[in-house]
Amino acid sequence: MSARTKARKRALDMLFQADVREEPLLSIVNAEAKRAAGEPDRAASWLYAREIVDGVADHRDEIDELIMSYAQGWTLDRMPNVDRALLRLAAWEILFNAEVPAAVAIDEAVELAKEYSTEDSSRFVNGVLGRIADHAAA
Protein backbone atom coordinates (compact mmCIF):
# COMPACT_ATOMS: atom_id res chain seq x y z
CA MET A 1 0.00 0.00 0.00
CA SER A 2 1.41 3.38 -0.98
CA ALA A 3 2.13 6.13 1.52
CA ARG A 4 -0.57 8.28 -0.08
CA THR A 5 -3.17 5.52 0.26
CA LYS A 6 -2.25 5.20 3.94
CA ALA A 7 -2.43 8.97 4.27
CA ARG A 8 -5.93 9.02 2.78
CA LYS A 9 -7.04 6.40 5.31
CA ARG A 10 -5.57 8.48 8.13
CA ALA A 11 -7.22 11.65 6.82
CA LEU A 12 -10.53 9.80 6.48
CA ASP A 13 -10.21 8.64 10.07
CA MET A 14 -9.55 12.18 11.34
CA LEU A 15 -12.39 13.74 9.33
CA PHE A 16 -14.76 10.97 10.41
CA GLN A 17 -13.79 11.27 14.08
CA ALA A 18 -14.28 15.02 14.16
CA ASP A 19 -17.67 14.65 12.50
CA VAL A 20 -18.98 11.79 14.65
CA ARG A 21 -17.60 13.08 17.95
CA GLU A 22 -18.61 16.64 17.08
CA GLU A 23 -15.14 17.75 18.15
CA PRO A 24 -13.05 20.45 16.54
CA LEU A 25 -10.93 19.02 13.76
CA LEU A 26 -7.87 20.71 15.27
CA SER A 27 -8.25 18.62 18.46
CA ILE A 28 -8.33 15.41 16.44
CA VAL A 29 -5.34 16.53 14.34
CA ASN A 30 -3.32 17.43 17.44
CA ALA A 31 -3.98 14.03 19.01
CA GLU A 32 -2.98 12.30 15.78
CA ALA A 33 0.17 14.44 15.54
CA LYS A 34 1.25 13.27 19.00
CA ARG A 35 0.61 9.67 18.03
CA ALA A 36 2.55 10.09 14.77
CA ALA A 37 5.52 11.65 16.58
CA GLY A 38 5.83 8.52 18.71
CA GLU A 39 5.57 6.11 15.80
CA PRO A 40 8.25 6.75 13.15
CA ASP A 41 6.70 4.22 10.75
CA ARG A 42 3.66 6.50 10.51
CA ALA A 43 5.69 9.57 9.53
CA ALA A 44 5.56 8.93 5.78
CA SER A 45 1.80 9.01 5.67
CA TRP A 46 1.33 11.68 8.34
CA LEU A 47 2.45 14.67 6.26
CA TYR A 48 0.05 14.05 3.40
CA ALA A 49 -2.80 13.15 5.77
CA ARG A 50 -2.23 16.47 7.52
CA GLU A 51 -2.18 18.29 4.18
CA ILE A 52 -5.53 16.74 3.24
CA VAL A 53 -7.19 17.54 6.56
CA ASP A 54 -5.85 21.10 6.62
CA GLY A 55 -6.99 21.57 3.03
CA VAL A 56 -10.49 20.28 3.79
CA ALA A 57 -10.69 22.60 6.81
CA ASP A 58 -9.49 25.60 4.79
CA HIS A 59 -11.95 25.00 1.91
CA ARG A 60 -14.80 23.25 3.71
CA ASP A 61 -17.55 25.69 2.75
CA GLU A 62 -16.68 25.55 -0.94
CA ILE A 63 -16.26 21.76 -0.86
CA ASP A 64 -19.55 21.23 0.97
CA GLU A 65 -21.39 23.54 -1.43
CA LEU A 66 -20.18 21.50 -4.41
CA ILE A 67 -21.02 18.20 -2.72
CA MET A 68 -24.55 19.42 -2.00
CA SER A 69 -24.90 20.70 -5.58
CA TYR A 70 -23.94 17.37 -7.11
CA ALA A 71 -25.36 14.90 -4.57
CA GLN A 72 -28.78 15.00 -6.13
CA GLY A 73 -31.48 14.58 -3.52
CA TRP A 74 -29.02 14.22 -0.62
CA THR A 75 -28.19 16.75 2.08
CA LEU A 76 -24.91 16.49 3.94
CA ASP A 77 -26.77 15.53 7.11
CA ARG A 78 -28.50 12.63 5.36
CA MET A 79 -25.28 11.09 4.06
CA PRO A 80 -23.50 8.37 6.01
CA ASN A 81 -20.66 9.95 7.99
CA VAL A 82 -18.03 7.92 6.13
CA ASP A 83 -19.38 9.01 2.75
CA ARG A 84 -19.41 12.66 3.79
CA ALA A 85 -15.79 12.44 4.97
CA LEU A 86 -14.72 10.61 1.80
CA LEU A 87 -16.41 13.14 -0.43
CA ARG A 88 -14.71 16.01 1.38
CA LEU A 89 -11.31 14.32 1.21
CA ALA A 90 -11.49 13.44 -2.48
CA ALA A 91 -13.11 16.74 -3.45
CA TRP A 92 -10.16 18.55 -1.89
CA GLU A 93 -7.75 16.42 -3.91
CA ILE A 94 -9.68 17.04 -7.13
CA LEU A 95 -10.08 20.77 -6.61
CA PHE A 96 -6.95 21.83 -4.77
CA ASN A 97 -4.17 19.30 -5.29
CA ALA A 98 -2.82 19.45 -8.82
CA GLU A 99 -0.39 16.58 -8.07
CA VAL A 100 -3.25 14.07 -7.89
CA PRO A 101 -5.17 13.29 -11.08
CA ALA A 102 -8.93 13.44 -10.55
CA ALA A 103 -9.28 9.81 -11.65
CA VAL A 104 -6.85 8.70 -8.93
CA ALA A 105 -8.68 10.69 -6.25
CA ILE A 106 -11.99 9.19 -7.35
CA ASP A 107 -10.65 5.62 -7.55
CA GLU A 108 -9.08 5.86 -4.09
CA ALA A 109 -12.29 7.25 -2.59
CA VAL A 110 -14.39 4.54 -4.25
CA GLU A 111 -12.10 1.83 -2.85
CA LEU A 112 -12.32 3.34 0.64
CA ALA A 113 -16.11 3.49 0.31
CA LYS A 114 -16.19 -0.20 -0.60
CA GLU A 115 -14.06 -1.00 2.43
CA TYR A 116 -15.63 1.26 5.07
CA SER A 117 -19.15 2.23 4.04
CA THR A 118 -22.44 0.84 2.80
CA GLU A 119 -23.05 -1.41 -0.18
CA ASP A 120 -24.32 1.49 -2.30
CA SER A 121 -21.75 4.04 -1.18
CA SER A 122 -19.11 3.33 -3.80
CA ARG A 123 -21.53 4.16 -6.63
CA PHE A 124 -22.78 7.25 -4.83
CA VAL A 125 -19.24 8.50 -4.10
CA ASN A 126 -18.16 7.78 -7.68
CA GLY A 127 -21.11 9.71 -9.13
CA VAL A 128 -20.73 12.79 -6.94
CA LEU A 129 -16.96 12.95 -7.39
CA GLY A 130 -17.28 12.46 -11.13
CA ARG A 131 -19.53 15.51 -11.32
CA ILE A 132 -17.13 17.51 -9.12
CA ALA A 133 -14.25 16.51 -11.40
CA ASP A 134 -16.24 17.63 -14.44
CA HIS A 135 -16.93 20.93 -12.69
CA ALA A 136 -13.22 21.36 -11.88
CA ALA A 137 -12.22 20.61 -15.47
CA ALA A 138 -14.69 23.14 -16.89
- Torsional sign, CA 100, 136, 56, 121: negative
How many C-beta atoms surround the C-beta of residue 109 within 10 A?
A: 28
Q: Which of 53, 52, 45, 47 is nearest to 2 (CA)?
A: 45
Domains of the chain by range and CATH?
3-137 (1.10.940.10)
How confident is the model over 96-104, as a mean pLDDT? 96
Using one digit for the tens of pLDDT, what is the confidence trace for 46-73?
A: 889 999 999 999 999 999 999 999 998 8
Q: Which of 22, 7, 20, 13 is nearest to 81 (CA)?
A: 20
pLDDT grade for 45, boundaries at 50, 70 and 90: confident
Let me know: does 55 contact 89? Beta carbons within 8 Å. Answer: no
Greater model confidence, 43 or 35: 35
What is the value of pTM for the model shown?
Answer: 0.93
Decide: 121 and 80 in contact? Cβ < 8 Å. yes
